Amino acid sequence: MYAGRARALVERSLLVNRRAWLAVVSGFCEPLFYLFAMSVGFGVLVGDVIGPGGEPVSYVAFVAPALLAASAMNGAVYDATFNIFFKFKYAKLYDAMLATPLGPVDVAVGEIAWALLRGGLYAGGFLTVMLSMGLLTSPWALLALPAALLVAFSFAAVGMACTTFMRSWQDFDLIQLFLMPMFLFSTTFFPLDVYPSVVQAVVRCLPLYHAIELMRRLCGGVVEVGMLWHVGYFAVMAALGVVVSARRLGALLLR
């Protein structure tokens, strides 16, 4: 099941994507466009809002950490779903890999690690843009990058686990059906208290909500012990994703 050679898949992904770098980088553009739209358009109309520490912040500074979390999520999910499905169902790449010393756990960990690197790339680029716009005012913002890597790893693991259950390309509409409402309602553009209590309870269960809360507090310098709850949420999410991915790949490829 595991040969300790997951790094071989990461190396392969680097070699394959070095000539398709534009397609890899393009996923970084969507949240960046949202950020620019908020800074020069909608944010001017809204003015200041209440930040995570109870202090007023500009609307752009409120939205930017949420878009950072969404950037890490998108980079990881899209690589761990569409690309892996093609390799698994059509290219039969994993069948060839299992003819080598690699095992299903190596495949799962290697692919999730590459999706993590892609999500981290998006997050790092987005943090650079935030820094150039003067939206990072606290030294705690340095921890936003490792936090984004944790978020990317968790979404990549769960995304790959979900991909192992996909039957055709049409099933990916279900992923979009989940990702888009989560992006819009997980306090990305509005604070949590604008929702009714029932909706607030639902939003608190969404993984992107925990990612946004973590990013907002780090970027705003509001660090509390309670933030460990968000970290633990993603640690459990990542562990479950890796276990399910490895077992599903083993069941599908070694049968």
Mean pLDDT of 79-87: 80
Q: What is the number of other CB atoms lying within 10 angstroms of the CB of residue 95?
A: 12
Say how far apart CA 115 and CA 94 lie, in whole Å: 16
Strand partners, 56: 50
65-77, pLDDT tens digit by residue?
A: 888 888 888 878 8
Q: Which pLDDT does position 95 carry in this prediction?
A: 79
Mean pLDDT of 25-42: 69
Mean pLDDT of 227-235: 91
Lowest mean pLDDT among 20-24, 144-148, 177-181, 201-205: 20-24
Say how far apart CA 123 and CA 98 lie, in whole Å: 32
**Per-chain mean pLDDT for the chain:** 82
DSSP run (H or E) holding 48: strand 48-50
Predicted TM-score of the model (pTM): 0.84
Q: Which pLDDT does position 23 carry in this prediction?
A: 59
Say how far apart CA 21 and CA 26 lie, in whole Å: 8
pLDDT at 90 exceeding the cut of 70: yes
Q: Which residues contact 136 (CB under 8 A, 6 or more apart)?
A: 127, 130, 144, 219
Q: Which pLDDT does position 2 carry in this prediction?
A: 66
Q: Which pLDDT does position 26 carry in this prediction?
A: 63
Read out DSSP for 9-31? HHHHHHHHHTT-HHHHHHTTHHH
- Considering only residues 138 and 143, tell me which one the structure prediction assigns the higher pLDDT: 143
Read out DSSP for 53-84? TSSEEEHHHHHHHHHHHHHHHHHHHHIIIIIH
Contact 169, 84 (CB under 8 A): no
Q: Which residue has the tokens 């049968």?
A: 255
Mean pLDDT of 182-193: 87
Mean pLDDT of 146-172: 86
Which amino acid does the sequence have at 55? Answer: E
Say how far apart CA 169 and CA 156 lie, in whole Å: 18
Q: Which pLDDT does position 255 carry in this prediction?
A: 62
DSSP run (H or E) holding 131: helix 104-132
pLDDT at 234 exceeding the cut of 60: yes
Say how far apart CA 215 and CA 208 lie, in whole Å: 10
Mean pLDDT of 80-87: 81
Confidence of residue 16 (pLDDT cuts 50, 70, 90): confident
Say how far apart CA 97 and CA 103 lie, in whole Å: 8
Backbone angles phi, psi at 5, to 5 degrees: -125, 35
Terminus-to-terminus CA distance in the chain, angstroms?
13
Lowest mean pLDDT among 28-42, 52-66, 239-253: 28-42
Nearest to 61 by CA among 145, 149, 133: 133
pLDDT > 70 fraction of the chain, expressed in percent and rounded: 91
pLDDT at 24 exceeding the cut of 60: no
